Amino acid sequence: MFKKVAYILALGLLSNLPVAYAEADLAHLTLEAAQHLFHENNKELISAKRIVQGAEADAITASQKPNPNLSLGVASFNLNRSAANKNPNGSNSLSDQTLNSTVQISQLIERGDKRELRMASAKNAIKASNYDLKDAERQLLLSFNDAYYDLLLAQEAEKILASNSAAYEKTIQAAELRLKVGDIAASDVARMRVDLLKIQNDMRQAKANREKAQANLAYMMGQENEAARLYAQDGWPAVSQTISTPQDIDARPDVLAAEARTKQAEENQRLANALKTRDVNIALQYQRFPGQMPGADTNTIGAAITIPLFTNYEYQGEISRAEVDLTSALEAKQQARASAVSEISRARADLNAAVEKVNRFDTQILTEAQKAADAAEFAYSHGATGITDLLDARRVLRAIQLDAATSHADYAKALAAWQAATRIENQN
């Protein structure tokens, strides 16, 4: 009874897990499940996350104040202990030796808001790293979608070629019967066999393409050892005749990352200028010096302050470098925005062309090619045409079927590229 209850509870828990966690069916892999595996296991994406964690660790360092220093020292110890170390009172015990011992605590005090500027710079570095992660995810997801559709295309090509091969085998079987009764020439059967062998070669290449697509997709999902099991279950995305207008380009993750780095460079420039504001080092000292002079107390205290003097160098190099970095950051921001505009334009052009190609194949080219092939089959079976016309019609139909599948793959990739190019981030 207990085992039964535990089993039911386990099934309930699994039913609430995301599809990829509940043992994703790699043999019937949907794009959604594959994308979940990608987000969880992609090695390049994990490396990008580590960069964000490194920036967060740097921010902890930047926010810290300088630690105080503790100094311990002894001086004025005369090795002639028998006579020279005696105090004026005549004592020569170890505690009354004329030994100057000091304990000092010093603290560096930063001025010019250096700590605040470091923290502001680190905060912008974290923001830039997070946007870099989003941009890396955007680009890697585009490559991942391409890999998924490459596998789907390879599977479609195998199906098309397998269907053509089966049709040729049936035709050859029928042709061999006709050859026995002298209804067709032996050369016709030989030409059919040659075409079948060519299809079989194409099938072998299609299998290799499918295996390479499986390996590529498996790597991007962190499933390298399961590559042979992968089978893309989803079909081609539906063709949309309308293309959405891109939203604010400045909200793309790469542009936002460049903006954050510009702000970071501005903070670093202020920090470089703040170096001209002198930091001070304050020290408090306790001193024990028995017998240093008649009538003087054994214990004394003191204080010191250290101020740097800019007599030789005033951080001109650091300030100049910060100004150059700021100029570079501004130029990089302009470049990122220009690149985004160019990418969107290219993606729009590719998507428009892909839509027209798919529509033309689905509504006209495939239909006409099928009609021509059917007519050639009918004419050949009734002796109205030769084997050449039949084989040509079949070759054309096969090539158009493969081109139609490729056009759907091109549309799917172009749609994914458009979605990636117009992806924006919430800045809150």
The whole-angstrom separation of Cα 173 and Cα 155 is 27
The whole-angstrom separation of Cα 218 and Cα 222 is 6
> Which residue ranges make up each domain of the chain?
30-65+110-276+314-421, 67-109+278-313
pLDDT tens profile 212-235: 999 999 999 999 999 999 999 999
The whole-angstrom separation of Cα 263 and Cα 125 is 9
Q: Give the pTM.
A: 0.83
3-class state of residue 72 by DSSP = strand
pLDDT tens profile 154-187: 999 999 999 999 988 988 888 888 888 877 888 8
pLDDT over threshold 80, residue 207: yes
3-class state of residue 30 by DSSP = coil
The whole-angstrom separation of Cα 191 and Cα 387 is 8
Arithmetic mean of pLDDT, 395-421: 95
Burial 229-259 (b: 16+ CB within 10 A, else e): ebebbbebeeeeeeeeebeebeebbbbbbbb
Q: What one-character-per-residue DSSP string does 213-282 give?
A: HHHHHHHHHT-GGGGGG--B---PPPPPS--PPP--GGGSHHHHHHHHHHHHHHHHHHHHHHTTSPPEEE
Q: Do the beta carbons of residue 199 and residue 161 sit within 8 Å?
A: yes
Q: Which residue has the higher pLDDT, 156 or 377?
A: 156
**pLDDT-derived band of residue 17, with 50, 70 and 90 as boundaries?**
very low
> What integer pLDDT is reported at residue 83 of this predicted model?
53
pLDDT over threshold 60, residue 13: no
> What integer pLDDT is reported at residue 153 of this predicted model?
97
Instruction: Name the CATH superfamily, with its identifier, for domain 30-65+110-276+314-421.
Output: Outer membrane efflux proteins (OEP) (1.20.1600.10)
> What integer pLDDT is reported at residue 85 of this predicted model?
52
> What integer pLDDT is reported at residue 36 of this predicted model?
95
The whole-angstrom separation of Cα 134 and Cα 3 is 45
Q: Do the beta carbons of residue 254 and residue 88 sit within 8 Å?
A: no
Q: What one-character-per-residue DSSP string does 303-343 give?
A: EEEE----SS--SHHHHHHHHHHHHHHHHHHHHHHHHHHHH
pLDDT more than 90, % of the chain: 70
Residues contacting residue 322 through CB under 8 Å, at least 6 positions apart? 265, 268, 269, 271, 272, 273
The whole-angstrom separation of Cα 376 and Cα 25 is 43
Identify residue 31 by its one-letter amino acid code. Answer: L
> What integer pLDDT is reported at residue 412 of this predicted model?
96
In the Cβ-directed half-sphere of 192, how many Cα atoms lie within 13 Å? 24
**pLDDT-derived band of residue 7, with 50, 70 and 90 as boundaries?**
very low
pLDDT over threshold 80, residue 88: no
Arithmetic mean of pLDDT, 324-352: 95
Arithmetic mean of pLDDT, 10-16: 42
pLDDT over threshold 60, residue 44: yes
Q: Do the beta carbons of residue 404 and residue 365 sit within 8 Å?
A: yes
Q: Which of 57-61, 197-201, 248-252, 290-294 has the lowest average pLDDT?
A: 290-294
Nearest residue to 247 (alpha-carbon basis) of 420, 415, 417, 423: 423
- Chain centroid offset of residue 342 CA: 21
Identify residue 380 by its one-letter amino acid code. Answer: Y
